[in-house]
Each structure stands twice: as structure tokens, then as C-alpha cells.
Amino acid sequence: MNVHEYQAKEVLREFGIAVPEGRVATTPAEAEDAARALGTGVVVVKAQVHAGGRGKAGGVKLAKSPAEAKEVASEILGMTLHTPQTPPEGKLVRKVYVEAGSEIADELYLAVVVDRAAEKLAVIASTEGGMEIEEVAEKTPEKIVTETVDGNIGIQAYQIRKIGFALGLGFEQVKQLDGLLGGLFRLFNEKDASIAEINPLVITKGGDLVALDAKINFDDNALYRHEDIAKLRDPDEEDERERAAHEIDLAYVGLDGNIGCMVNGAGLAMATLDMIQFCGGSPANFLDAGGGADKEKVKEAFKLILRDENVKAILVNIFGGIVRCDLIAEGVVAAAEELGVEVPLVVRLQGTKAPEGRAILAESDLNITPAETLQEAGERAVAAVAGGA
Amino acid sequence: MSILCDENTRLLVQGLGRMGQFHANLSLEYGTRVVGGVAPGKGGQEIGGLPVFDTVTQATKATGANASVIFVPPPGAADAILEAADAGLDLAVCITEGIPTLDMLRAKSALAGCSMRLVGPNCPGVVTPEQCRIGIMPAQITRPGPVGVVSRSGTLTYEAVDQLSRLGIGQSTCLGIGGDQIIGTTFVDALALFEADPETKAVVMIGEIGGSAEETAAEFVQSEMKTPVVAFIAGQNAPPGKRMGHAGAIIAGGKGRASDKIAALEAAGVAVSPSPATIGKTLAEHVPSLAS
């Protein structure tokens, strides 16, 4: 789960990491009040959306007075931000964060991530703060320092010294980094983060390390034990259909094609999208109905697929292991009748109770095209769309 | 021959909820020697015909078990894995989906240097046809034979096995290693086991987008394997930055793309099936001696 910058900074503060003072505002007047309350003269007004690259897109602006803070907030609030990380339609800005300006001497990059290949945690640090780390990795990989950390032992003081001195920090700042990275690891472990990135981590003119921007992702699988973090979820930032799917325990990702897909299992669902494209078609969605798919769930899945107006045909591809094909077939029939499905349906049932499932479909009055193999399923779904066009 | 499990495997079931009981029963029907269950607080009872114990250690002492299948819900699953290791079992297969990543990171680190092999979590399990079924796979689609199957996905494993069986090509062992970021047995581990098994004459490997396990596997195939390998990579058309169901299946920062994985595998001499529908056919063409 992703959170806003201002929320990430609250969590950093909780773990003793220095961040600039700031306040959230949802109206220009609130932004003006926030700037006045901060009392620092210069403030930064920052769009709060779940995407990086906000500065270049015009979502981050300086203001030298409360009146100017109001003015720039009125420009940013309500704008649709387009950055390399936003979806094609952009993201509407509903909140800004008004933050005290910092006197910056230098900018660094610092992150803690899960290193899948090493099966450990890793610190990634760089002297190139303020840039995308992927870009640094590509152009100047020698400027990146990494240190892997055992999940049970935790980061050691010598590792922090290695990182600090490699970044060219003075001894006083290395001592500060020790406190900061210690806090960041405690945060990571205690709150089940999956990425904690501070970019830039600035060195102020006074020589202090301050987190100027922060991005923290939390492990969805661990939210059950972090009520405080789960509360930070912002439904406005999530794709509406993906959220609806999540609520009924389906995995759904919207795509831009016209063949709706319902599959059991993530791997087979991905392969089904591949199959459709291999046959010259274009899938409208990824949908994994999961292991517990039954009649009710099939109906909900159909509703979700049909909310996409681009859908011109639906392909159901089920390989029953735990899932029983007869129950899926009942669900397909019920959904098609109750929802009045008008687009062509191609259904492939294999595995547990598949013959029974196919019989149920054949006995219904619905216009369902059966398919035996994955190849047939793909071909018939693509043909169904072509025939209906 | 086979890898990981055979007719001598004596299996415990950790977690006897609805799913644990259901699949313990299917495994028994398949002929697997399921010898007991573990459910804390229910020791001494009998559930679904199985003797139940409070701890894995008690169960192992009483039944001579050497393997365990874990259905314990996510909050207690990592603990269940470590309990199996502590009891001295040779193999634990964890089916549980949704274990917090840091729990698995710590458990994996704690398992280093321990002799137990972990398969999963978030996997469909292991089947050695006509001998042993551990987990949730529909074992009826398998048939005994010379091809090892290893996959990150569940249902796509079934698809591949089904394609092989329909072509009359049987399997030595079918194994799902799981779709999570941190897993016990990796592709490389599984490939090494198949390479060492004299009865496995070819391997089908099914990967997907995300991470770099397929690239690492390609290096292993090139440097360490004589057994021919055929592969398929799912998610060739997945959009970047979206989690495609599995926690591990996400293309991040330009890494984990299907095209890179396919290129690495092909460079290592692996025959990669272009379509998910031609996995069996690709094997039959690449290793003609196996096609009947």
C-alpha cells in the first residue's frame, strides 16, 4: 500500500527522523493559514498524489509569503497532474502539503528495500539526491552504494559507517546517519514497510540531515497487524475498479483492450492475456478469481468486467484444481441471465468436474461458445470480437 | 525416480482447517501416506481419520513423519515453517498465501544452515505421479514419466502438465515453487534436483514477470545442466508497475520484463514456447525422443 508524502513524513517523525515542519491543506485559504502558522517566510506547496516526478510536472511550488502560498495552492489544487508515474489520464490533486523551506547545502538519496535476490534487506544510497535512482543506476552506477542487511541481525554500526564515508560525509554527519538509518530500519521492521525511500535526504547549511521528500510503501499482507498504517489508505488514489475487486477478494488490473477475462490463478490469468494477444486480440483486464471462486464470486467478477464499456466479449478460462468447474458453470449461467450479458461468451473449463460444468453450460439457453484448449479459447474469443464488430 | 517426495514420504498436515482437511483427504485418496495432523490444543483427537497432535515434534515422534504440508493462516505460517524445521523434518511445503514479506525474510534467514527443504509459500505443492501428492494440485491430470515440471504459478502448472499428459509425455515430479517474493526452493534449487535425478530426462520451467529468478536460472542451465530445458514466461503483455495477482509478479523500474527473461533463457539454450498453448508441443519438438 502506498501513502502520501505527508503521511510518510508523519511516520518518519514517529521514528525520530528529522523532517521539515508542514501542514496539509485542501483549500487555498487553508494553505495561507498553514504558511502563516509555519512562520518561516519561504514555504513549499506540494501536490499530494501517489506519484513521483511532481516537481517537473508543476505540482511543487515555492511561495515567499502566506498570500503567495494561497495563490500557488489555488493553482495546484484541482489540477490534473501528469508525471511519468501517473496513469495516462493523470491524477487529480485534492490536497497540498505546505512545508517550511529548507536551506539546502547538498542532496543525497537513501532507501531501504527488500532485496529479493539476496533474500535480505538492502540500503541503497547515493550522492545524487533528487534524481530518479533508476536513472542514476543507468548513467552513473559508480555513484550508488548498496549494503545488504540480514533480516534477523539488523543493520550494524559498521555498515552505516561504510555507507556514510562512501557518500563522503564528515564524521559528525555519519553519526547523524547512524541515528537516521537506525530509525528507518526500526520503522521498516515494526511497520512492515516494503520500500522506504528518502529522496532527497538533504544536508542543510547548518549541517543537519533532513528528509525533504519521502515515499513509503507498506506490505499489504501485513496490514492486518498495523491498524494505524491501514488507516492511511486513500481510496481517492486507487483505481476504482481495482478497489472494488479488492473488496470482494479478486485481483483485477484494468487494461485497454476489448476482451474481458475471468481466470483462476495469477499465472494462468497472465498466460490468458498472452494467449489473446498471441491470437491477435487485446485483453480488457487481468482478473484472478482465486482459489475459492464460486457462483456468487463469478457473478461479482462478471459485474466488474462489464463495467468496462470497451468489453466486446468475455473469455472465461478455468483450470480447476481447488476450484470446481460445475460451480463455475452455474455461476456463469446465473450471471449471464441475471445481468443480461449481451456480449459473446467463450468458456473453457478444464480440471476438477469439468465434464459436469460443460454439461451445465450446454443445457442452458445461453449463447456460449465452448473451448477445449487454451489455444481454442484464445482464437474463439478473438473471433467473437471480430464477428461482433 | 523423482525429486522431493515418493511412496516413502510420510506426511503431516499442519493446520487442519477446512482446506487442510479437504486436501489431506484428497492426498490420502491418491495413495499418499498422510500420517497425522498438527493443531495446537487439539492433540489426542482424531480429525478426518488422522491422529492429531499439539506440536510437530510430538507428531514426528509418534508417526515417523519426514515431511509436512502447511495450511496455517498467514499470521502463524512462518512460525509453522520454523516449527517443522525444529522437529527435524526433511521437507515442508507451505501452501499459505499472504504471509507478510518480512516474516518470510526472517524465516528464510533462520533456515540457513538447517537441513530441511522448504517449498513455497503461496504454492500449489508437489506431486510425484502415482506416488505422492503434497498440497492442492489436481493430481489426476499427471501421469508418471520422464519430465520434471517446475513453476512459479499454480494453475499454469496444471495447464503445462495437462498439455504434456495429452501428448503422452509423463512427469517425474511436478512442483510449484510459489509466487511470493521470498520463497524456500528457487528455480535453481529445483533445476539442480532434477539434474541430479537420473530418471528426469527433460525439464519444463514456467516463469513469470517480476524479479530475476528466471535470469539466474538461465545462468544455471548454461553452466551446470546437461538435461534439456523448455520454458514459458507468463505476463509478456503486463503493464509496468502493476501487481499481477502474485506478490512477486510486478515489473518495477524496467526490471523483471518477460522479454529480458526470454532472451536470457534462449541465450542459455533453453527452448522457450512463444505461446502458453504450445508448452507441451515445444518440449516434444525440442526433445523428440520423449514424444510418443
Q: Which residues does A340 contact at the CB level (< 8 Å), separation at least 6?
A: none
- Confidence label for B247 from pLDDT (cuts 50, 70 and 90): low
Q: What is the pLDDT of residue A236?
A: 85
Q: Determine the Cα–Cα distance for residues A320 and A352; give it in Å rounded to an integer.
A: 5
Amino acid symbol at B175: L
Mutation site, B23, B102, B104, B127, interface A, largest A CB count within 10 A: B102
What is the mean predicted confidence (pLDDT) over B69-90? 97
* Contact assignment for B276 to A319 by CB distance below 8 Å: no
C-alpha cell of B278? 504450445
The secondary structure element, H or E, covering residue A205 is none
Q: Which residues does A277 contact at the CB level (< 8 Å), separation at least 6?
A: A283, B236, B237
What is the mean predicted confidence (pLDDT) over A124-143? 88
What is the mean predicted confidence (pLDDT) over A22-32? 96
CB-CB contact of B205 with B230 (8 Å):
yes
- Confidence label for A131 from pLDDT (cuts 50, 70 and 90): confident
Q: Determine the Cα–Cα distance for residues A298 and A361; give it in Å rounded to an integer.
A: 14
Mean pLDDT score of chain B:
93
Of all residues in chain B, the one with the smallest CA distance to A151 is B106
| Catalytic-residue membership of A109 | yes
In angstroms, the separation between the Cα of residue A322 and the nearest Cα of chain B is: 7
Residues of chain A with CATH 3.30.1490.20: 21-101
* Contact assignment for B156 to A286 by CB distance below 8 Å: no
Q: What is the pLDDT of residue B253?
A: 62
Same fold, B1-122 and B142-292: yes
Q: Determine the Cα–Cα distance for residues A349 and A204; give it in Å rounded to an integer.
A: 63
Q: Does B153 touch chain A (CB under 8 A)?
A: yes
pTM score of the predicted model: 0.91
Alpha carbon separation from A198 to A19, B229, B279 (Å, rounded) = 10, 43, 44
Q: What is the pLDDT of residue A339?
A: 87
Q: Determine the Cα–Cα distance for residues A147 and A120; give it in Å rounded to an integer.
A: 10
In angstroms, the separation between the Cα of residue B33 and the nearest Cα of chain A is: 21
Q: What is the pLDDT of residue B243?
A: 74
pLDDT at A387 over 80: no
CB-CB contact of B104 with B179 (8 Å):
no
Task: Please state, as a whole number, how many other Cβ atoms lie within 10 Å of the Cβ of residue A370.
Answer: 16
Task: Please state, as a whole number, how many other Cβ atoms lie within 10 Å of the Cβ of residue A171.
Answer: 9
pLDDT digit string (tens) for A41-96? 899 999 999 988 888 888 999 999 999 999 999 999 999 999 887 877 889 999 99
Task: Please state, as a whole number, how many other Cβ atoms lie within 10 Å of the Cβ of residue A367.
Answer: 10
Q: What is the pLDDT of residue A26?
A: 96
- ipTM for the whole complex: 0.88
CB-based burial, A255-292: b 16+ in 10 Å, e otherwise: bebbbbbbbbbbbbbbbbbbbbbbbebbbbbbbbbbbe
Domain at B142-292: CATH architecture: 3-Layer(aba) Sandwich (3.40)
Q: Does B186 touch chain A (CB under 8 A)?
A: no
pLDDT at B270 over 90: yes
> What are the beta bridge partners of residue B93?
B69, B119
The candidate with the shortest Cα–Cα distance to A124, out of A188, A206, A220, A218, is: A188
* Contact assignment for A351 to B246 by CB distance below 8 Å: no
Q: Does A141 touch chain B (CB under 8 A)?
A: no
* Domains of chain B by residue range: 1-122, 142-292
Burial of residue B191 (number of CB atoms within 10 Å: 0-12, 13-18, 19+)? buried
Cβ-Cβ pairs closer than 8 A, A with B, add up to: 173
Question: Which class is domain A21-101?
Answer: alpha beta
* Contact assignment for A263 to B211 by CB distance below 8 Å: no
Is domain A1-20+103-238 given the CATH code 3.30.470.20 in the classification?
yes
Counting residues of chain B whose pLDDT is more than 70, the rounded percentage is 97
Q: Determine the Cα–Cα distance for residues B157 and B97; give it in Å rounded to an integer.
A: 17
3-state secondary structure at position B42: coil
Q: Which residues does A14 contact at the CB level (< 8 Å), separation at least 6?
A: A187
Is domain B1-122 given the CATH code 3.40.50.720 in the classification?
yes
The secondary structure element, H or E, covering residue A379 is helix A374-388
Residues of chain A with CATH 3.30.470.20: 1-20+103-238
The fold adopted by the segment(s) A240-388 is Rossmann fold (3.40.50)
What is the mean predicted confidence (pLDDT) over B158-181? 94
CB-CB contact of A179 with A77 (8 Å):
no
Count the alpha carbons within 13 Å of A187 in the hemisphere toward its beta carbon: 29
pLDDT at A171 over 50: yes
Q: Which residue has the higher pLDDT, A366 or A219?
A: A219
Q: Determine the Cα–Cα distance for residues A214 and A140; give it in Å rounded to an integer.
A: 22
- For residue A116, which residues of chain B lie inside 8 Å, CB to CB? 181-182, 211-212, 248
Mean pLDDT score of chain A:
91
Smallest Cβ distance to B152: which of A221, A267, A373? A267
pLDDT digit string (tens) for A267-315? 999 999 999 999 999 999 999 987 677 788 888 899 899 988 899 999 9
Least confident window among A251-255, A261-265, A373-377, B282-286:
A251-255
In angstroms, the separation between the Cα of residue A86 and the nearest Cα of chain B is: 10
Q: What is the pLDDT of residue B292?
A: 61
| Catalytic-residue membership of A197 | yes
Supply the residues of B annotated as catalytic. 246
Q: What is the pLDDT of residue A346?
A: 95
Q: What is the pLDDT of residue A389?
A: 42
What is the mean predicted confidence (pLDDT) over B222-229? 96
3-state secondary structure at position B155: helix
pLDDT digit string (tens) for A231-274? 999 888 887 777 888 788 888 888 889 999 999 988 999 999 99
Q: What is the pLDDT of residue B128?
A: 97
Among A197, A300, A330, A379, the active-site one is A197
Of all residues in chain A, the one with the smallest CA distance to B153 is A267
Smallest Cβ distance to A221: which of B100, B152, B274? B100
Of all residues in chain A, the one with the smallest CA distance to B160 is A268
C-alpha cell of B64? 515417523
Q: What is the pLDDT of residue A388?
A: 53
DSSP letters spanning B68-134: EEE---HHHHHHHHHHHHHTT-SEEEE------HHHHHHHHHHHTT-S-EEE-SS--EEEETTTEEE
